[in-house]
Structure 1
Amino acid sequence: MAFILPDLPYAKTAFGDVISEKTFDFHHGKHHKAYVDKTNSLVGDAGLTGASLSDVIKAAKDKGNKGLFNNAAQIWNHSFYWLGLSPEKKTPNADLQKKIDASFGSTEKLCAALKDEAVGHFASGWAWLVLDGDALKITSLHDADTPLVHGLTPLLTLDVWEHAYYLDYQNARPGYVDALLANAINWDFVAENLDGKGVSRADQQG
């Protein structure tokens, strides 16, 4: 079996001006697909045919196989990113809100910290909300790097590669981040990930 481009969990027109259909056409249909195609071309030579995507990522990291790691991790990061977005405005449930308040004081302060991390991240990469032990933390990782290889439980990510926002926001990364945080975060998915479920939902078998 080969890795596949997963379907989006919503219509490409669902977000209106927040994320345009054209952005989904390029970001999901071209960029994400290119990572899938490249991973499939590399995984056999690495002796990892049939392994899960997360296992390919970890093995590629351990073996220093940068090409396979970068492409496989980008499949996973993008799949996780799509799941963390919702065209319907949501709010954190009680358990998640308790965690947020303990670590940040409020959802508004969490979002402000995540925005600072996303906007301040230099060049390409991802801003992450993660669970580190019992505490929620915010970090950013460069290029294709992922919490899967750092002992962290990913809860939410914002893609800050330029291809994620340039068609809609040009060079205004803060506007893109503001629009997502105000209108498009799937807090139900974030809550699910407190038990590590998001890892399995973004994973797939090769």
Structure 2
Amino acid sequence: MLATYECVLARLGIPTAKGKTSGEIMNQDAPLLQEKPTKLKSGRSDISRTVRRPAGVEACETEPVKVAELPFALDALEPLISREAMHFHYDKHFKGYVNKLNALVVGSAYAELPLEDIVRQAAWKRKRPMLVNASQTWNHAFFWQCLQPGGVMEPDVILSEAIRRTFGSYADFEAKFVEKGVAHVGSGWLWLACHPERGLIITATEDAIPVWLASGRVPLLVCDLWEHAYYLDWRHDRAGWLKGFLAQAANWNFAGEQLASVLDRREPWTYCR
């Protein structure tokens, strides 16, 4: 069994041939790179690659991007997140991003695309309002998946070993995760992500940018650093919010599934498919 774990972790580059962990190699945030555009059916954009909407999923003429459902009740995460805070976060902020995005893409060639490719197109074309609203729609829907009501869960054995190899121990990972989130200035998102060749990394992205954009990284877990996510319950205590997220709500089953998608070279979580 141990040999199996060694093989899996070796595929992630943990540790590297030079004896350094992936966390030591990737201890700095990579700058945002712009993705080349996806080919639109209308032919309005340069051709990079063709993306088709999955079978059975059609764009609505008035609401091309669906509202992702919250996978738990509004009060399911109390006391970490109060019903009031989750109501404002989901019903006001999240749905607001979706509505604004639909207003921007309805009737255009962008409405033909999956959300991930709207993000890529908006980044390439420097369409900031579209990029912000599309990215925030994706990030929030992913964040809902990263929340698990009903008690503490632990990473599975492979993810636990990857965390140990990269950060030293789970306690070290927790400390670095909180430290990274507290050090981030302004709004953003705090990610545990995995690169297929470089392994695990804790990184924060500015404002609305998703960690996977032009980076090759697959997100395993994310925590929202925007104040609307935690201010009603935690005020200025971002450290308390991050510690509470890991201790009470982090969905490690989902994170393990995301890591498995990297190891199996299959598609990770995507928006509303």
User: Which TM class, normalised by the smaller chain length?
Assistant: over 0.9
Alignment of 1:94-109 (within 5 A): 94-109=157-172
d(CA) in 1 for partners of 2:93 and 2:235?
A: 17
Partner of 2:141: 79
Q: Which runs of 5+ in 2 are unaligned?
A: 1-59
Report what 2:40 is aligned to: none
Question: In structure 2, what is the equivalent of residue 119 of structure 1?
Answer: 182
> CA shift at 1:198, angstroms?
11
TM-score normalised per structure 1: 0.93
Aligned to 2:41: none
Larger Rg: 2
CA distance 1:114–1:199, change in 2 (3 Å): farther
Deviations 1:116-169 (A, max 9, x none): 111111010011111122410011011101112122111111101000001101
3-state secondary structure, aligned to 1:123 = coil
Structure 1 segments (4+ residues) deviating >2 Å: 44-47, 196-202
Contact kept in structure 2, 1:60 and 1:69, CA below 8 Å: yes
TM (norm. structure 2) is: 0.71
Q: How big is the shift at 1:204?
A: 3.0
Shift in Å at residue 107 of structure 1?
1.5
Displacement after TM superposition at 1:47 (Å) = 2.3
User: Is structure 2 residue 77 aligned with structure 1 residue 53?
Assistant: no
Aligned to 1:203: 271
| Matching of residues 134-153 of structure 1 within 5 Å | 134-149=198-213, 150-153=215-218
Name the counterpart of 2:57.
Answer: none
What does residue 176 of structure 1 align with?
241
* Distance in 1 separating the partners of 2:268 and 2:203: 21
Q: Percent identity?
A: 36
SS of the residue corresponding to residue 91 of structure 1 reads: coil
Contact 1:58 1:148 (8 Å CA) reproduced: no
> Given the superposition, is the C-alpha separation of residues 199 and 185 from structure 1 closer, same or farther in structure 2, using an over 3 Å criterion?
farther
Of 207, 211, 228, which aligns to 1:163? 228
Once residues 70 and 200 of structure 1 are traced to their aligned partners in structure 2, the CA distance between those partners, rounded to angstroms, is 22
Aligned length: 205
Counterparts of 1:3 and 1:130, CA distance in 2 = 25
**Separation in structure 2 between the aligned mates of residue 106 and residue 200 of structure 1, nearest angstrom:** 26
CA shift in 2, pair 1:15/1:199, >3 Å: farther
**8 Å contact from structure 2 (residues 258, 268) kept in 1:** no
Shift of 1:201: 3.4
Tell me the SS of whatever aligns to 1:129.
strand
Greater relative contact order (Cα < 8 A, sep 6+):
1
Shift of 1:106: 1.5
Determine whether 1:188 maps to 2:253. yes
Counterparts of 2:176 and 2:108, CA distance in 1: 39
> Distance between the aligned counterparts of 2:133 and 2:266, measured in 1?
19
Output the amino acid matched with 2:205: L
Q: 1:129 to 1:153 in 2, by over 3 A?
A: same
Q: CA deviation at 1:5?
A: 1.8
- Cα contact 1:23–1:164 (8 A) shared by 2: yes
| Closer/same/farther in 2, CA of residues 23 and 199 from structure 1, 3 Å limit | farther
Most deviating of 142-151 and 31-40: 142-151
